């Protein structure tokens, strides 16, 4: 489903540096993998490149057989809108929308019919255990709850690929465990693929496979202790 070959990214500027080089990576549908690595090694850059939010300097990324390099920004945006879901460390639930409206956002962007959307949102909310909180404001929710809203939003439109960047970085261990379990169940339930970028060994342990990003490239296996 996702196929990455010889991917490289270099940042120009006063202190040019190579962040990624020679990355080869394959992800099949339904696979749930974790990527670990030191801070600043390029984990988020890798996610941005996969999401089409940034352009590689070399190499190719194919999502469901489409070469991202051949798509312009709008096409990438549409692809992202339809086929991807995101979970952020800082939740990023829009404060001025209710919980349900936040979750419905991808469907709104995809132009789903209101009735169908409502049912799907309700289903999603009950899946993450927030049945009663649809009308709540984000400011009334705890961190763990917010991240569950985020998971619901990331999966409401049944994306092929979910990208989660340190989803538990802002959570206590109990909430983190709940959220990770929820994320895994949701992704698996949707038969989608997911890449989980994390520092946490515990978080990585929930994945099917673990990769470590180093200066030399992406290699299978957990980070060395």
Partner 1 sequence: MAHVPAPRLRGTLRATAGALAGHKGRVLVTIVAIALGVALGYAVQLVNRVAVNEFGQAVQTLSGTADLAMRGPRGGFDEHLFGEIARLPEVAAASPIVEVEARIPGRDDALRVLGLDVFRAGLIQPGLVPEAAESLDTLRDDTIFLNAAAMDWLGARTGDLVPMQVGTQVIRLRVAGSVPAEGHAQPLAVMDIAGAQWRLARIGRLTRIEVRARPGADVAALERRVAAMLPPGVAVERPAAAIESTLRLSRAYRVNLNVLALVALFTGGLLVFSTQALTVVRRRPYLALLRVLGVTRGGLVGLLLVEASAIGAIGALAGLLGGYGLAQLVLEIVGPDLGSGFFRGLAARATFEAAPAALFFALGVATALFGSLAAASEAARTEPAQALRAGDEERAFGRLAPTAPGIGFIALGALLTAAPPVRGLPIFGYVAIACLLVGTILLIAHIARAAFRRMPVGRNPPARLAVLQLRGAPGQATVSLAAIVASVSLLVSMAIMVASFRQSLDAWLEHVLPADLYVRAGRTGDTAFLPPDVQQAIAALPGVRRVEFLRSERLLLDPERPQIVLLARAIDATTAPLRLPLVRSADLPAGGAPPAWVSEIAADVYGLAVGQEIVLPIAGRRVRFRVAGVWRDYARQQGAVVIERALYAELTGDRDANDAAIYLEPHASPDAVIRALRARIPGAAELETALPSEIRRRSLKIFDRTFAVTYALEAAALAIGLMSLSSSFGALVLARRREFGVLRHLGLTRTQVGAMLATEGAIVSALGLAVGTALGWVISLILIHVVNRQSFHWSMDLHVPWTSLAAFTATMLALASLTALVSGRQAMGAGVLRAVKEDW
List contacts with partner 1 (CB under 8 A): 44, 48, 51, 53-54, 73-74, 77-78, 80-82, 84, 86, 88-92, 94-98, 101, 105-106, 108-111, 137-139, 153, 165
Give 72 or 225: the residue with its C-beta nearer to partner 1.
72
Q: Hey, what are 43's tokens?
A: 């984990």
- Report, in Å, the least distance between residue 151 CB and partner 1: 14
Give 119 or 205: the residue with its C-beta nearer to partner 1.
119
Q: Hey, what are 22's tokens?
A: 């020679």
Give 13 or 225: the residue with its C-beta nearer to partner 1.
13
CA atoms within 13 A on the CB side of 185: 12
Give 92 or 184: the residue with its C-beta nearer to partner 1.
92
- Report, in Å, the least distance between residue 154 CB and partner 1: 9
Q: How far is CA 114 from the centre of its chain?
A: 25
Give 1 or 109: the residue with its C-beta nearer to partner 1.
109
- Report, in Å, the least distance between residue 219 CB and partner 1: 25
- Inter-residue contact 110 to 157 (CB < 8 Å): yes
- Please count the residues of the chain: 225
- Report, in Å, the least distance between residue 9 CB and partner 1: 13
Q: Which residues contact 144 (CB under 8 A, 6 or more apart)?
A: 171, 172, 175, 178, 179
Give 24 or 172: the residue with its C-beta nearer to partner 1.
172
Q: Is 170 exposed, middle or buried (0-12, 13-18, 19+ CB in 10 A)?
A: middle
Q: Using CA atoms, how far apart are residues 9 and 13, in angstroms rounded to an integer?
A: 13
Q: How would you classify the pairing of strands 209-214 and 217-220? A: antiparallel
Q: Which residues contact 139 (CB under 8 A, 6 or more apart)?
A: 95
- Report, in Å, the least distance between residue 122 CB and partner 1: 19
- Report, in Å, the least distance between residue 137 CB and partner 1: 8
């Amino acid at each position: 489903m996702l196929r990455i070959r010889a991917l490289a990214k270099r940042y120009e500027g006063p202190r040019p540096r190579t962040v990624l080089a020679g990355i080869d990576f394959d992800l099949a549908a339904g696979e749930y993998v974790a990527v670990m690595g030191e801070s600043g090694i390029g984990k988020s850059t890798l996610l941005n490149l996969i999401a089409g939010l940034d352009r590689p300097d070399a190499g190719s990324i194919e999502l469901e057989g489409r070469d991202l390099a051949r798509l312009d920004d709008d096409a990438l945006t549409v692809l992202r809108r339809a086929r991807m879901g995101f979970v952020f460390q800082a939740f990023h639930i829009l404060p001025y929308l209710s919980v349900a409206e936040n979750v419905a956002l991808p469907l709104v962007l995809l132009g789903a019919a209101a009735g169908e959307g409502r049912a799907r949102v309700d289903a999603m909310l009950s899946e993450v255990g927030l049945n009663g909180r649809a009308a709540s404001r984000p400011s009334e929710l705890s961190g763990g709850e917010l991240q569950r809203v985020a998971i619901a939003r990331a999966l409401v439109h049944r994306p092929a690929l979910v990208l989660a960047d340190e989803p538990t970085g802002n959570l206590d261990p109990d909430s983190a465990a709940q959220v990770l379990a929820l994320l895994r169940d949701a992704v698996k339930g949707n038969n989608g693929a997911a890449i989980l970028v994390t520092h946490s060994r515990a978080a990585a342990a929930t994945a099917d496979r673990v990769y470590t990003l180093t200066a030399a490239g992406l290699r299978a296996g957990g980070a060395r202790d």
